[in-house]
Amino acid sequence: MRHHFWKWPIPVYLFLGGLGGGIFCLSAVLSLILFPGIEAVPTALAWPCFIGICCLGFGCLMLVADLGQPMVFYRAFVKSTSVLAWGARLLTVCMIFGLLWFVSYVPWDWFRPVADLFVFFRGLNLAIAGIAGTCIMLYTGIFLSTLKSHAFWATPALPVLFTISALSTACAAIALSIGWWPATTSIFTEAGVMNILASQECKHILHTVDVVLVVCEIVVLLVMVLSFLGAGNKTANKVAHKWVHGSYALAFWGGMIAVGLVLPELMYIFLDGTIASSVIAPVFVLFGGCLLRFMVVNSDERAPLPGENEYFNKVAKRDAEFVTKWTYGENIY
């Protein structure tokens, strides 16, 4: 069967898109809902959001690079109904408003006049970017789950899983990067102290949230995979077997469940306050999220047509000698 059409840029994009979207979602929630009016919180979140923008931008780059005809990518904005087109628009919106929001925090003196222009719109910009980010998070999973030909994707659990994973990785990313430039990091200024306080508070909240999210993710992932294993149609069942005790078992149990979820969860709970909880665990979570996207995207088995596999096993390889030997237009004799 012909499959694995999507190469590595796509799972990378799905991961980065979810991550970036999640960062904006959480930043908006923290700044506008949990700590409204406390300027130190959004300032501390400026750097994580910048990383979010980079993630989205790099993700977009991946996406465009993966196209066979990148020069016509703009067409994705023309038609309105497809999930993918919506995704493209959300990405753009999120990046533009996120950037405008971030710009207003850039502390360089020469840049002041520009930055000042956007200060007034900070709340609005972040709100828009946050909503768009939330939608991006949701859409990556929804997009795959609408491709019904792949039984393993066509489940409502997948958007849930992707959203949880996106939030969880966003928590981890924010925890790793909150409070850096352009926030004042000097502890000798009031702003610096506020920044540290705000960062600590946010980290604390995110830590708690992530503890919950990781548990949720484990539950959803196991429910999804094990329900495919137990029931599900033939194709999904086959994939689930591959995950649980097939060729993906090591990546699944060792990589995703153990390293990506259980270990950081344990570190979060039992090693709270150590570097294991503040640095290693988030890195593991990010790794787990990335691995999840790869494994899911590569599980794109279709229900094969009768004899399809045998047929495509028999046809030549694209690099067979007789394929590459002759080029039309040349004459040998």
Partner 1 sequence: MAENPSIFDEDVQCIKSLCYFCHANCGVLAYVKDGDVIKIEGDPNYSSQGGLCCRGTSALLHVNHPARINHALKRVGEKGEGKWEQIPYDQAIQEVADKLNQIKAESGAEAVASAGGTTRTDDWARRRFLNQFGTPNGFHNALLCWIPTFMAETCVAGWSPFETDLGAARSLILWGMNPAASTLGGMHGYTDLKLNGMKMIVVDPRYSETASKADLWLPLRPGSDAALALAMLHTIIFEGMYDINFVTEWCEGFDELQDHMIDYSPEWAEPITWLPAEKIREAARMYAMNRPGCIQWGCTWDQNGSTSTTASHALALIRAICGNLDIPGGDGMPGPALNFLTDEELELNELLPEEVKSKQIGSDKFKLTSWPGYQIISDNAVRKWGKTLPTEWFCEAHGPSIFKAILTGDPYQVRALICNATNPINSYGDAKMTLAALKKVEFLVVVDYWMTPTALQADYIFPAAGALERPTIITHYGATDSLMGGRRAIQPKYDRHTDMVFWRKLGLACGQDPANWPWETEEEAYWAVIEPMGLPINNYNEFVDNVRMYFPPLHQTKYVQNGGFWTPSGKVECNSSILRELGYSGMPIYTGMAESELTTPEVAEEYPIVLTTGGGFMPYHHSEHFQMQGIRYLYPDPYFCINPDLADKLDIKQGDWCWIETRRGRIKMRAGVEPIVDPRVVMCPRGWWFPERDGAADPDNPFGCLESNVNTLTSVDDWDCDPMGGSWNNRGLMCKVYKCGDLDNVFRSEDAQFSIPGSAKEPGIHMTYSEMKTCREPIPFEKPAPTKEVPEGYVWTWQDDQLYQKGTGFKLDESGWLIDPKDKSYVDAYTGWHYDANQQCLVDTSTGKKYTMDRQEIQELAGVRLYPGTAEAPFEITSQALIWDAEKGYATFAGAKGEGKIFNPDTQWVMGIEDNVYYDQHMGYAYDPNENNLVDMETGARYTMSYEPINAGVAEAHVEADAAAAAMADAGDYADAQAAAEASDEIAAAQEEE
Partner 2 sequence: MTRYVMVIDQRRCIGCQSCTVACRTWNELPLDIIYNPVLTEGVKGEWPNVHRNWIPTLCMHCEKPACVPCCPTGASQQDDDGTVWIDYDKCMACLACVNACPYGMRDQSKLQPALHRFVRKCTFCRDRRQNEPGRDPYCVQTCHQKARIFGDLDDPESEVSKLIGSVETFRLLEDMGTGPQIYYIPDLGGTAK
Q: Name the site residues for partner 2 (rule: CB under 8 A).
A: 1-3, 5-6, 63, 66-73, 75-76, 78-79, 81-85, 88, 146-150, 300, 302-303, 305-308, 310-312, 315-316, 318, 323
CB-count burial class (<10 Å; 0-12, 13-18, 19+) for 115: middle
108: Cβ contacts below 8 Å, ≥ 6 apart: none
What's the min distance (Å) between Cβ of 86 and partner 2?
Answer: 9
30, β-bridge pairs: none
Q: Can you list the alpha helix ranges (DSSP code H) found in 104-189? A: 112-119, 122-146, 157-177
What's the min distance (Å) between Cβ of 97 and partner 2?
Answer: 22
Between CA 39 and CA 123 the distance in angstroms is: 11
187 binds, among partner 2, partner 1, none (CB under 5 to 8 A by kind): none
**Sign of torsion over alpha carbons 36, 51, 91, 287:** negative
313 binds, among partner 1, partner 2, none (CB under 5 to 8 A by kind): partner 1
Tokens standing for 208? 């708690």
Tokens standing for 79? 């038609």
What's the min distance (Å) between Cβ of 237 and partner 1?
Answer: 24
Q: Which is nearer to partner 1, 148 or 318 (CB)?
A: 318
314 binds, among partner 1, partner 2, none (CB under 5 to 8 A by kind): partner 1
Sites for partner 1 among residues 300-329 (CB under 8 A): 313-317, 320-323, 325-329
**Under a CB-based contact definition with an 8 Å cutoff, are residues 48 and 54 in contact?**
no
**Under a CB-based contact definition with an 8 Å cutoff, are residues 23 and 52 in contact?**
yes
Between CA 274 and CA 22 the distance in angstroms is: 25
What's the min distance (Å) between Cβ of 224 and partner 1?
Answer: 35
273 binds, among partner 1, partner 2, none (CB under 5 to 8 A by kind): none
Q: Which is nearer to partner 1, 187 or 316 (CB)?
A: 316
3 binds, among partner 2, partner 1, none (CB under 5 to 8 A by kind): partner 2
Q: Which is nearer to partner 1, 71 or 316 (CB)?
A: 316
**324, 328, 329, 333 alpha-carbon torsion, rounded to 10°:** 80
128 binds, among partner 1, partner 2, none (CB under 5 to 8 A by kind): none
Q: Which positions touch partner 1 (CB under 8 A)?
A: 313-317, 320-323, 325-333
